[in-house]
Structure formats: C-alpha cells, structure tokens
Structure 1
Amino acid sequence: MARGRKVETGVKRDNKGRILPKGISQRKDGRYIWRYTYNGVTFKPVYSWDLQELKRYAEEERVKIAKGCHIEPSNITLNEYFYYCQETYKKDKLKERSYKNNNDYWGWYVRDYIGKKRLQSIKPDDLIRHYHWLQNREDKPISYSTTVRVNSMINEVFERAVKRDLLMKNPAYKVLEDVSPIKMGKKKIALTEEQQARFMEFVSCHRFYKYHKNLFTYLFGTGCRVGEACALCFQDINFDDNYITIYKTLYFFKGDENVKGEKRIGSTKTENSTRTLPMLSDVRTALMEQMELQKAAKQKCCESVKSVHDVKDVVPLEDHYNNFVFLNNNDTPYTPDYVTGIIKKIIKSYNKAENINAEKENRKPILMPDFSSHNTRHTFATRCKELKLPKDNISRWLGHKTEGNNTTDIYIHTENWKDIKDDVETLNKMIIK
C-alpha cells in the first residue's frame, strides 16, 4: 500500500510551504493578511507582501492591544505614525545626533501643525498649503531646501503607511512640483582672499580674539568641519611625518528638554570623512604654537568627553577623550555652536571698527560679510580651485565621496595618502595667517 502524505490538521502554509502563524493567511494575489480579535473586539486587518515584517508587526500589536495602547489605523495621526516609525525603524540604524535631528525638525515644522491631522485625512493640497505657509510666515520663514527636507521626512512616513496598507496612496508623492522655491535662504559664501586676509589680520591683532587665531588657521587651512576641529586631540597629530588623522567629531547633545545637555564624541559624518591630511606649513606652525601655549599656561583640559560608539565606526573610538587641542578659557573643549558664536562676535567687532576707521579716513567701509564656521570649508575649497587642484583631490581634502575611489582606504592608512600629499606644495601658496 502506497504511503500517503501525512495530513496536517489546523496548519496553514503559504505558497512557499512556510507554516503561517495563527491569525495570518495568504491571499490569492500573494499578499499576507493578519486578522485579530481580542475580548470580542475585531480589529481592522493588516496586509503586507513581507511575511516576516507582518509577523513582527502582529506581535507588537498584540502587546499594545493587551496593554490598551493600540491605535486603530483610521484614528492614527501623522505625529503618532512618525514617532512609531522613528522608534521602530530608525532608532537602531541612525547615529544618535541624526536621530535627534529628525525629531527636532519634526517638532519645528510638522508636530504642532499638520502633524495633528489624522493620517488618512491628509490630502496633497493640505501639504501644499502647509509648505506655502512655512515659506511665507512672518516668524522664521523657511527656505526651499528646508521645505525639501521636511517633505522628504513626511514622504517617508506616508510611504511606510502605504506599504503597511494603512493608506491606498501617498499624498506627499511629487507634491513639491506645486511648491515654488520662493524662499532660497542665505546663499552659502566663500570669503575672497582679501576678506580672509582681513579677517585673520583682525583676529591676530585683537587683544581678545587673538586667542582663537590658531583655530581659524586650522579651519581655513584644512577645510575640515567645525565638529572635527573641536574633536582634534594632540594624539591625532603626527609632527614627525607631518599629517593629521581625522576620524571623530564633537557635538553637543540634548536629548530631552528637561535634561541638561552634554558634549559627546562620535565618528565622522560619513565613512569618506575619515581621512588623513598632510599639514600645510601655516597649519603645522599654528598647531605647534597651540601646543606650546598650553604648556606655557599649564593649561589642561578639565573635562573628559564621552564617546558614542557605533558598529559602523571606521576607527574604533576610545571611551573618553580629554587631550583636546583647542580649549576655551574654562579649560574645556570648543563646541561648534561656541565657534559660530565667536565668529559672529568677531564680524560685529570688525565691522564696528571698520565703520569708525572709514569715517575718519573719509572712505567707504569695507565690511566683512556674515558667515559661519561652515563657510571656512567653502573658502578652503575655493582657494583649492583657484590654485587649480584636481576636483577629486579637493573632495579628498574635504572628506567627500569621490567617483571610483574607496576614500576610506585612502585616508585611514598613512601609506595611502600620497595622492593629496603632493598638493601641499601648491596649497602652501595660500596666505592663511
């Protein structure tokens, strides 16, 4: 007698032969559906093409329903679904500061406005009106680039809602085609050679601001990000072989409004940002002078800054850092906001003095434009271009991705940085100090 296949009673399988858990079945079109009833209440079914994703969702929702914190898709707001997506999909994938930046942007431009509306009630016209209002409001209108970023966040939320069958269509899809870029924000500038020279001369001669001269020499002479400059430690500098290793950044983190913020060290913005840079002669002089100044003043950092580790770190970070190159009067490391504040004060002092001198000399004042620490990167890149450096080499200096190059391999090992080491002779023609 032929042996027949064992009959499985009460067991459901999908078209790939996988056993389906209780409450989940597969439709003829291949989609999976989860149905659930709790205490006599039947909840709206949820569909997904991904079985594993639906199983995870079902398990989470069962717990929420049992705790009484489940939200029906028909009632969920844009805010609620955004924070759900942040917690579920983003928290373990984004760096700490990126995760916080997302929440900050949402709080500034979405949460108290369209974020309160029900997810299923939002139409494309609602988003268009919201973006127009943000761009034209009297109090802090936003630029078009900020509008693009806000829409990108909203679009991602709706895409997930469509994927989970909470919505039929994404109302944010191509909605920016009907939003005019009427507010372009401040144009990013690079200082001219004359402006850069005037700025550095004013800083060098000022009785207070001359303390920061070496920092600005470093920023103008490397093109590094301000957070990377704040995180620079003396062990990152090799004076014998004349190079600097950039692999970390310093930032100020405040996760909760009621919690005091703190300085933290993290890995650089991207893998390409981890790099080894040869020192220009002015930069080398400034860093050696900074080291001698600290020794002469017996200045020692009184703050140990904690590192935030990430599995994607190209260079493993130490748990704490305290041997910082740039310290303020309180013997603590600079922060990016602190540097930006210094620049604003210097510009204000410079323009005030220039107006007085111009009036005395009966001439038109040559004022310093408003700029931030990030504009020092633009200035460095512009000087490089003026000196006819190859575009790929400029990208390597700045820590940007270059086409066809694994920049991590180039910068993390000192034996692989010869392609930009040759730039030093050309770049030394720049007048920084």
Structure 2
Amino acid sequence: MKGHIYKPNCKCKGKCKCNASWAYIIDIGRNPKTGKRQQKKKGGFKTKKAAEEAAAKLITELKSGLYFEESTITFEKFAYQWLSIYKNSGSVKESTIRVRNHEIKRLMDYFAKLSLKDITLKRYQDALNDLKDRGYATNTIDGAHRTGRMIFKKARELELIKKDPTEFAVVPKAIKTVEELEKANDIPNYLEKDQLKKFLRTAKEKGLDSDYPIFMLLAYTGMRIGELCALKWTDINFTEQTISITKTYYNPKNNVKKFSLLTPKTKSSVRVIDVDQSIIEILDKHRLFQKKVMLRHGDHYYDHHFVFTLIERHPGYPFYIKKVENRMERILKLAELPVELTPHSLRHTHTSLLAQAGVNLEQIMERLGHEDEKTTRLIYLHVTKDMKKEAAHKFSKLMQDL
C-alpha cells in the first residue's frame, strides 16, 4: 500500500521547524466504476508518531479487507429506509410499525439532518438524557432507544458506519417517589361479584343491541377487547363449548372500514377457552338475531362472519373498540357503578372471581393467555390473601370455646 506521512501546511524551507500538524495520504485501491486511483487523506495529528499509528491502522484494515468508507447519509433518510426494511420483513405487526414510527420521530428532534457517522455515543446519550429532562416516562425513552439500537445496528451491518453510538448508551432512570412505588403495587379496578351481577343485569335489561352478549362474554372468559372484536363464528365450537382465540382487532383511528386482524399479543395468547352452557345459549340466541339483521340488509351486509357487528350503519362490519367502551360507559352510568371502569376491567374481574372460586394461578394465566403478567398476579395474591385471612378467622371462631 503506497502512502506517506507529511506536514501539508508546512511553509518552512529545508528542515521543518514550525508547529504545523501531521497528515497521511494512502492509496486505497481503484474506483470500481472509473478505474482511477483512490487515496485517503487525513490530517490534524499533533505528532508524526500519531499520524504513523493512524496510517498503520488504516493499512491493516485495507490488507484484511475490513476497510470501507463511512456513508454521509443522514439519520432522517436512513431511519425511514430502515423502517421500510423492517416493515417488509414479513413478521412485524402494523401496530408495531406505528410505534416504531413514533419513536423515530422522537429521535428526529436530535439527529434528523446529521450524518449517521457524525452521531457519537456522547451525542446519542445526551439525547436520551434530554428526553428524561423533558419529562418523558422511562418506558417511552426505552422505546426510543430500542428503535435507535435497531437503526444503528442495521447501519453497521450495511457498512455505513464503523461504530454504533448506541452500543454503550443507557436509558436514564428516574428516582421513583414514595407515591410511585406505592402505586406500582396498586390493585387495578375491577367489579366485585355483586357489582358484576348488577352490571350484567343492567346490560340485559337496558343495553342496546349486542350489549348483553358482548359483556357476558368479556366477563365470563376474560378475553381482551381486541380478541372479542376479532371473533368470528368459526372460532366458536358450539358442540365442544369452546372459543378459539387466534387473532386480534387493530383499528387505531376507529375507522369502521379500515381495520386489520393481527396475530395475538403473544404466543401464549393463542388459546382455546372453555365456556359453560349459559354462554353457548347466549351466543346461539345472538346468532339468530344476527341472521335476521343479515336478511334485512341483504347484499349491503358485510358478511365476513364476525360475531359482533354493527347493524344500521355499516352493517356487518365488526364492532370497533371505542364503540364497546362507549357502550360500557353508558351501562355503568345506568347501573350507578364507577364510570372509570373499562372493558379491560372485566378481564381483571374475571381474574378475581376465578381466584375466589379456588382456581390456581397457573390455570388462570393459561385461560387469560398470559405467560407472566404482574397485574394478574397482584389481583390473585390480593384475593387469596383475603381468603386466607377469612379461613384463619373462621378457625379461630370455631375454637374460641376451648
């Protein structure tokens, strides 16, 4: 490899006596398109030895085939190129793409017009620290960092950069207050047994079309609201009295016709839920009701076999999540129950009632489609703790005559 060390800005005649910096110039091969010789120049070294060491490192990279020119592509341009690659990998949900896009936008505030190669560890870490100073939650910063890591890892794989600035970066952790620590172990809202009875009775007596079967199913199975909206009649086995959960409904903008059916939240979310005869009878009655609606609308009915569908406007399209939430709020008001409860609260209610019925935690997790869920554990431990206290009280009462 041809090259030499020199002082490009030296004006001395004869032996150099000035403080000009040192530089190197090295042949790095020929341009593959033009065939012309290419050279790499770099200056700014304070000593000749420093320039020689840098030149030796470059020559080693050239001889071993590890050398490449870093790209000048900006973070903004490459981030969206990466997002396209990520999206077309075939294994990523729409909801995840949407999250990644939001996280890229957060990083754009700091790096948009910078070349990838100019983003250092310090610069990247400063960005994470600033997100914390601006009041973003740790989970939000962690999400942005996770996306940043994936972007720079891909840039490294494609030999656009030599160093990954995210490799040693850390997400700043806020010191939790006493209130936050206590809140972390708060039991989520759910209905007690008597409250649930009142809620379901109100849904049956004063609910709109589909309300009663919807809320009975949520309360009696613990399924997620997205799983319920995605249900099709083919998922229900009326003979075996089971419901198969294989998909979830996704519609972030609540646009009736622009929805997607995605794979469930986790691998353990794919499951078969056993139901009792009462649920089967309610679903069978609902199916007959739906057939009458289909006959009334004829070809205008969007017949894709969804269990819970709209009736008058956009007939046949599945219920969207916001609509179910609004329906539930209406019934809660009529029943004079806390309106802050949501369809997800019925999932927590199902957990608490299973625990009261003596079902063990592992079986509850399997039924709900969880591998490990802190909230489920909290509810279970809360309910069983009260049951243990009650058992101790009953025993004490039994023995008090001794």
Q: TM-score, normalised by structure 1?
A: 0.57
Higher relative contact order (CA 8 A, sep 6+): 1
Flag structure 2 segments of 5+ consecutive residues without an equivalent.
Answer: 1-27, 41-57, 373-402
CA distance in 2, matches of 1:135, 1:202: 46
C-alpha contact 1:230 1:334 (8 A) present in aligned 2: yes
Matches within 5 A, 1:77-92: 77-88=74-85, 90-92=87-89
- Provide Cα deviations, 1:328-386, integer angstroms capped at 9, x if missing partner: 23323335xx32344246437745984xxxxxxxxxxx633253x44443443343334
Matched, 1:274 2:270: yes
Residue equivalent to 1:24: none
C-alpha contact 1:327 1:334 (8 A) present in aligned 2: yes
Q: Equivalent residue of 2:259, what SS?
A: strand
Structure 1 residues 390, 227: closer, same or farther in 2, change over 3 A? same
- The structure 2 residue matched to 1:367, chosen from 321, 338, 343, is 338
- Provide Cα deviations, 1:391-425, integer angstroms capped at 9, x if missing partner: 332232223348xxxxxxxxxxxxxxxxxxxxxxx
Structure 1 residues 88, 288: closer, same or farther in 2, change over 3 A? same
Matched, 1:217 2:221: no
Structure 1 residues 102, 180: closer, same or farther in 2, change over 3 A? same
Following TM superposition, by how much is the alpha carbon of 1:180 offset from its aligned partner in structure 2, in angstroms? 1.9
Residue equivalent to 1:122: 119
CA distance in 2, matches of 1:285, 1:142: 49
CA distance in 2, matches of 1:284, 1:176: 52
Structure 1 residues 188, 109: closer, same or farther in 2, change over 3 A? farther
- Provide Cα deviations, 1:244-268, integer angstroms capped at 9, x if missing partner: 22223333389xxxx9972333443
What percent of counterpart residues are identical?
Answer: 22
Q: Equivalent residue of 2:358, what SS?
A: coil
Query: Aligned partner of 1:180: which letter?
Result: A
Q: Equivalent residue of 1:277, what SS?
A: strand
CA distance in 2, matches of 1:279, 1:34: 72
Structure 1 residues 216, 346: closer, same or farther in 2, change over 3 A? closer
Residue equivalent to 1:15: none
Following TM superposition, by how much is the alpha carbon of 1:233 offset from its aligned partner in structure 2, in angstroms? 1.7
CA distance in 1, matches of 2:201, 2:125: 48
Richer in helix (by share): 2
Q: Equivalent residue of 1:276, what SS?
A: strand
Matches within 5 A, 1:282-297: 282-297=278-293
Q: TM-score, normalised by structure 2?
A: 0.61
Following TM superposition, by how much is the alpha carbon of 1:322 offset from its aligned partner in structure 2, in angstroms? 0.7
Matches within 5 A, 1:292-371: 292-297=288-293, 298=295, 302=300, 304=302, 322-329=304-311, 330=313, 331-335=315-319, 338-344=320-326, 346-347=328-329, 350=332, 354=336, 367-371=338-342
Residue equivalent to 1:156: 150
CA distance in 1, matches of 2:187, 2:296: 36
Q: Equivalent residue of 1:245, what SS?
A: strand
Q: Equivalent residue of 2:250, what SS?
A: strand
Matched, 1:387 2:383: no
What value does the CA root-mean-square deviation take over the aligned residues?
4.3
CA distance in 2, matches of 1:283, 1:100: 36
Q: Equivalent residue of 1:250, what SS?
A: strand
C-alpha contact 1:214 1:286 (8 A) present in aligned 2: yes
Matches within 5 A, 1:23-422: 37-39=32-34, 73-88=70-85, 90-98=87-95, 100-106=97-103, 108-131=105-128, 133-134=130-131, 137=134, 142-173=136-167, 175-180=169-174, 189-193=188-192, 196-206=196-206, 208=208, 211-252=210-251, 262-297=258-293, 298=295, 302=300, 304=302, 322-329=304-311, 330=313, 331-335=315-319, 338-344=320-326, 346-347=328-329, 350=332, 354=336, 367-371=338-342, 373-401=343-371
Larger radius of gyration: 2
Query: Aligned partner of 1:275: which letter?
Result: R
Following TM superposition, by how much is the alpha carbon of 1:35 offset from its aligned partner in structure 2, in angstroms? 8.0
C-alpha contact 2:257 2:317 (8 A) present in aligned 1: no
Following TM superposition, by how much is the alpha carbon of 1:241 offset from its aligned partner in structure 2, in angstroms? 1.9
Query: Aligned partner of 1:77: which letter?
Result: T
CA distance in 1, matches of 2:220, 2:353: 10
CA distance in 1, matches of 2:278, 2:237: 15
CA distance in 1, matches of 2:39, 2:348: 55
Q: Equivalent residue of 2:251, what SS?
A: strand
**Count of residue pairs the alignment pairs up:** 311
Residue equivalent to 2:13: none
Residue equivalent to 1:17: none
Query: Aligned partner of 2:309: which letter?
Result: L
C-alpha contact 1:122 1:171 (8 A) present in aligned 2: yes
Residue equivalent to 1:362: none
Following TM superposition, by how much is the alpha carbon of 1:290 offset from its aligned partner in structure 2, in angstroms? 1.4
Residue equivalent to 2:386: none
Structure 1 residues 128, 181: closer, same or farther in 2, change over 3 A? farther
Query: Aligned partner of 1:368: which letter?
Result: V
Flag structure 1 segments of 5+ consecutive residues without an equivalent.
Answer: 1-32, 59-71, 305-320, 355-365, 403-433
CA distance in 2, matches of 1:207, 1:399: 29
Structure 1 residues 155, 287: closer, same or farther in 2, change over 3 A? same
C-alpha contact 2:222 2:350 (8 A) present in aligned 1: yes
C-alpha contact 2:229 2:249 (8 A) present in aligned 1: yes
